[in-house]
Amino acid sequence: MEKTMVGKLFEDEASGQSRNELNKYALACSVVASIVAIIFGYDTGVMSGAMLFIKDEMRINDVQVEVLAGILNLCALVGSLMAGRTSDQIGRRYTIVLASIIFMIGAILMGYGPNYAILLVGRCITGIGVGFALMIAPVYSAEISSSATRGFLTSLPELCIGLGILTGYVSNYCFGKIAAKIGWRLMLGVAAVPSLALACGVLTMPESPRWLVLQGRLKDSKVVLYKVSNTEEEAELRFRDIKVAAGIAEDCQQDVVKLNRNTHGEGVWRELLNPTPAVRRILVAAIGIHFFEHAVGIEAIILYSPRIFKKAGIMAKDKLLLATVGVGVTKALFILVATFFLDKIGRRRLLFTSTIGVTISLSALGFSLTMVEKSKGNLFWALILSIISVYMYVAFFNSGIAPVTWVYSTEIFPLKLRAQGMSAGVAVNRLMNAAISLSFISIYEAITIGGTFFMFAGISVIALVFFYFFLPETKGRSLEEIEMLFGGNAEPSCKEDGQARNDV
């Protein structure tokens, strides 16, 4: 008896260790899905440098530059609202394919760009693709990952955005040496190539097991779960939890179940607009974290970093672009670091540390740029402090706020509401992104560039208070358990005729 108990103890420990290991197939699927985020990141990064050449060639004013920068995010807002319902209808996998095709069309139009109007149309189409990509990549990654590795896999899209932005900055530096009329068109048009490759590659991936359960395709879901789990026990446990969350009793053994409710996202917006107390708290948390991600000014740093460095005292275009490459390197490096800590030290700790660091960095940047503006000569120390502050800001932001925003908002929604709830969060995210993109130049011309970054520092203090009171820790919990943190519950059932009640 004693040996049996000891043996069982070791088996449980081994099983737990196995569940905590990263499944290679799930990792591969998340990597492929996240490539769409690289394309988005590239477009964001490359436009910061391309705008320098576009403004000179097309002789556009600062307002037109702001519109060109910000229109992508307004269109992304529309795309994100469309993406939730689309992914519920056609599935997560085909939604990624659709995003890739939209990206490809937009990149071709921008690369062609004979005039400002065509360039703007291409930017708008790309923006719709961005909305799709930002919603679907983290949702897919979250739905195929286990609770032990969800933070890592769901943060991969944000890492890929960082890599894409870095690639865009490097592209600026390299293509910037070519004749201006050709260089910026190559910067923007080259994104069509990986878009086409991704559209083909995604077709080799499996569909999300949670989406399959929502369609009543239990057998297909189980097949996928066996591939993305390390053991049969883990696959069965995850399968049981997903069935319960979908309103299907865990003892149902049928391959296909007909659900007594809509399974393609119908009625979800009604539930989001007239939410239960638990869903209301989830919406506040998701929308709030997406709001503050951009309200603290990241888009001003990423998109307008050449202007910031120019204000600090760097004048040569090649040096401006080279300094911007440093921003991209810092962003990618610290997101990579964060991905390994999300599942170890938790979302809240990273978020608090990141926000405090962002506040300090913004204050230092505001101070240094104010001193440069008030000085009649060159202040070398202020230039160095400005550069260090920008890099510190990017490091702190991407070690916490950036990855946690996408991981957290993806994992807190109930199964039925996840895709379209995430769409609402992404819509707010893009709205704030557009607001900063479209207004940054106008704001700093009104209150000085130093004053603008002091404003962002004040907003980051408010963000810290919000994160403390409204965002509970979710580390280590299954997607089906997290709703309980916000006061949610579910009552699963399975009828003899194979139909499941609409209890979720």
The three-state DSSP-derived secondary structure of 336-392 is HHHHCCCCCCCHHHHHHHHHHHHHHHHHHHHHHHHHHHHCCCCCHHHHHHHHHHHHH
| Same domain, residue pair 166 and 233 | yes
Question: Residue 4: inside a domain, yes or no?
Answer: no
According to DSSP, residue 265 is labeled: S
Same domain, 244 and 296: no
Amino acid, single-letter form, for residue 84: G
The confidence score (pLDDT) of residue 348 equals 93
In the chain, the number of structural domains is 2
Fill in the amino acid letter for 286: A
Walking along the chain (504 residues) 10 residues at a time, the average pLDDT comes out as: 40 48 88 85 80 82 81 85 88 91 90 88 90 87 86 86 84 76 82 84 88 89 92 90 80 74 61 84 93 92 80 74 81 88 89 96 94 80 90 94 90 82 86 85 90 96 95 81 69 40 34
Claim to verify: residue 102 and residue 165 sit in the same structural domain: yes
Pinpoint the alpha helices (H) of 313-346: 317-339
Closest CA to 133 of 219, 51, 174, 75: 75
Q: Is 218 domain-assigned? A: yes
Q: Which of 224, 239, 261 is the last residue of a domain?
A: 261
Which of 261, 294, 311 marks a domain boundary? 261
Tell me if 291 is assigned to some domain: yes
Q: Which residues contact 179 (CB under 8 A, 6 or more apart)?
A: none
388 assigned to some structural domain:
yes
pLDDT of residue 102: 92
pLDDT score for 484: 77
Does residue 5 fall inside a structural domain? no
Same domain, 196 and 210: yes
Among candidate residues 261, 278, 303, the one where a domain is terminated? 261
Reduce the DSSP state of residue 414 to 3 states and report it. coil
**Residue range of the domain that includes 241:** 24-261
In this structure, the answer to whether residues 289 and 326 fall within a common structural domain is: yes
Residue among 399, 393, 397 nearest 334 (CA) = 399
Q: What is the value of pTM for the model shown?
A: 0.74
The answer to whether residue 180 sits within a structural domain is yes
Identify the CA nearest to 403 among candidates 86, 35, 29, 37. 37
Structural domain includes residue 19: no
What are 353's two structure tokens?
Answer: 């540390």
Both 180 and 286 in one domain: the answer is: no
Same domain for 97 and 63? Answer: yes
Same domain, 108 and 159: yes
Q: Tell me the C-alpha distance between 384 and 51, whole Å.
A: 25
pLDDT of residue 18: 53
Residues 47 and 120 in one domain: yes
Residues 253 and 322 in one domain: no
3-state DSSP percent of the chain in helix, strand and coil, to 5: 80, 0, 20
What is the reported pLDDT for 404?
A: 93
The reply to whether 100 falls in a domain is: yes
8 A C-beta contact, residue 386 and residue 365: yes
> Residue 2: its pLDDT value, please?
41
Whole-number pLDDT of residue 105: 93
- Give me the helix-helix angle, 317-339 and 380-398, nearest 10°: 30
What Rg, from alpha-carbon coordinates, does the chain have? 23
| CATH number, domain with residue 466 | 1.20.1250.20
Residue type, 105: I
Residues 270 and 211 in one domain: no
Same domain for 224 and 282, yes or no, is: no
